[in-house]
């Protein structure tokens, strides 16, 4: 039986990934600071532990796992990573996790390590035009990420690549672009725009108004969680090391995202644009390289994923209210 370790198995992407790996017949160990927030874990073994502690990393990587997925990080949406208030924690927490995991993976010669980097590594100077952002993999340098979160991701990409060059470790570096879906954080300050907007729309009365950070003309693309898992697993088992974007290339403005959610909800709402952390002006996944190297691209449109996400968040709100 094949074995996998999922670091960050209590998080959004990690909990979905565990379920998919189990469906594929893997024996799965998960580790996280916390259990999944919205459902029971599907892992064969789930360890509550802090990967900032080297001894914990050594303990959980105690064998030659076929696949290690390194998703554990101190992360959140714009309200968490762009305020600047958490920069030191984000850099320290995530960097030390990656340092510990890389060395423990080497010690046990694990088969492959998947590292979840981010589109936040791309230079701010290529994302000023909301209609024409450049997020091709090769555009990462000269580096100029607009957040410390992005700088840490870039450092850790280089860490895993260096272990490959110096010690022959096999890694796969993925740069995720805004991933959303059911079981994702939807309140509390770390939620990303799709979840935040679904929550605000679900909570608003028809004819009312909701607050949107910025002028709403900033652009993004959003990848539905099932597509993210499929792309990640395919990439992990491909011959290409990366870095590769894993994202959607259906770019929309935040105002368009709000309109789509309102349409799904059947509500007419006024958008009140307020100052807030906005991040780069435009971002879209460039999927040319991933299509060329592993023949994968997302298959469903944004609306289909948003319908499922809105439905799930509306139910969370109703459950909380009850």
* Residue with tokens 């997302």, as numbered in its chain: 298
Strands 45-48 and 27-32: parallel
Any idea which residue has 């969680």 for tokens? 225
Q: Are 25 and 44 in contact (CB under 8 A)?
A: no
Q: How far apart are CA 205 and CA 216, in angstroms?
A: 21
Separation of alpha carbons 178 and 68, rounded Å: 22
Contacts of 319 (CB under 8 A, 6+ apart): none
243 binds ligand NAD (CB under 6 A): no
User: To the nearest whole angstrom, how small is the minimum distance from the Cβ of residue 124 to ligand NAD?
Assistant: 16
For residue 322, the minimal CB distance to ligand NAD (Å) is 25
Binding part of the chain for ligand NAD, among 8-16, 58-66, 99-107, 163-171 by CB under 6 A, reads 8-16
Pull the structure tokens for residue 143.
Answer: 């580096």
Beta-strand (E) ranges in 8-59?
A: 27-32, 45-48
Site mask for ligand NAD (CB under 6 A), range 103-132, x = bound: -------------x-x--------------
Q: Which residue is nearest to ligand NAD (CB)?
A: 11
Q: How far is the CB of 20 from ligand NAD (least distance, A)?
A: 13
The DSSP call for residue 266 is T
Residue 33 interaction partner, one of ligand GDD, ligand NAD, none, beta carbon < 5-8 Å per kind: ligand NAD
- To ligand NAD, the closest distance from the beta carbon of 39 in angstroms equals 13
Selected binder of ligand GDD within 191, 226, 227, 286 (CB under 6 A)? 191
Would you say 26 or 176 has its CB closer to ligand GDD?
Answer: 176
Do you know the residue count of the chain? 322
Q: Is 120 in the site for ligand GDD (CB under 6 A)?
A: yes
Establish whether the linkage from the previous residue to 44 is cis, with ω within 30° of 0: no
E-assigned strand segments in 106-255: 112-118, 171-176, 179-180, 209-213, 219-220, 223-224, 244-246, 252-253
- Residues noted as catalytic: 149
In the window 18-37, what residues touch ligand NAD (CB under 6 A)?
Answer: 32-34
- Residues interacting with ligand NAD, by CB under 6 A? 8, 10-14, 32-34, 50-52, 71-75, 93, 97, 116, 118, 176, 178-179, 185, 192
- Residues interacting with ligand GDD, by CB under 6 A? 75, 77-79, 81, 118-120, 176-178, 191-193, 196, 212-214, 218, 220, 254, 276-279, 283
């Amino acid at each position: 039986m094949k074995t996998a370790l999922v670091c960050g198995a209590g998080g959004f992407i990690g909990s979905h990934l565990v379920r998919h790996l189990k469906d594929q017949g893997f024996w799965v160990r998960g580790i996280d600071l916390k259990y999944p927030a919205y459902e029971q874990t599907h892992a064969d073994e789930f360890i509550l532990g802090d990967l900032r502690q080297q001894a914990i990393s050594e303990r959980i990587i105690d064998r030659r796992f076929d696949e290690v997925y390194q998703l554990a990080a101190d992360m959140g949406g714009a309200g968490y990573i762009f305020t600047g208030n958490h920069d030191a924690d984000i850099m320290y927490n995530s960097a030390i996790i990656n340092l510990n995991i890389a060395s423990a993976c080497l010690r046990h010669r694990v088969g492959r390590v998947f590292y979840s980097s981010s589109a936040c590594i791309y230079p701010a100077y290529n994302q000023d035009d909301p209609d024409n952002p450049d997020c091709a993999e090769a555009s990462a340098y000269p580096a100029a990420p607009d957040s410390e979160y992005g700088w840490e991701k870039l450092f850790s990409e280089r860490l895993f690549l260096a272990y490959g060059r110096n010690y022959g470790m096999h890694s796969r570096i993925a740069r995720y672009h805004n991933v959303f879906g059911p079981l994702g954080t939807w309140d509390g300050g770390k939620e990303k725009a799709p979840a935040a907007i679904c929550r605000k729309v679900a909570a608003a009365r028809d004819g009312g108004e909701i607050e949107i950070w910025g002028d709403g003309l900033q652009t993004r693309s959003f990848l539905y969680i099932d597509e993210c898992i499929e792309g990640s697993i395919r990439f992990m088992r491909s011959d290409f090391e990366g870095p590769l974007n894993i994202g959607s290339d259906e770019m929309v403005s935040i105002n368009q995202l709000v309109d789509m959610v309102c349409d799904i909800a059947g509500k007419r709402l006024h958008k009140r644009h307020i100052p807030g952390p906005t991040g780069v002006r435009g971002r879209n996944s460039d999927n040319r390289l991933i299509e060329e190297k592993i023949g994968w691209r997302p298959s469903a449109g944004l609306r289909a994923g948003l319908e499922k996400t809105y439905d799930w968040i509306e139910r969370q709100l109703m459950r909380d209210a009850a």
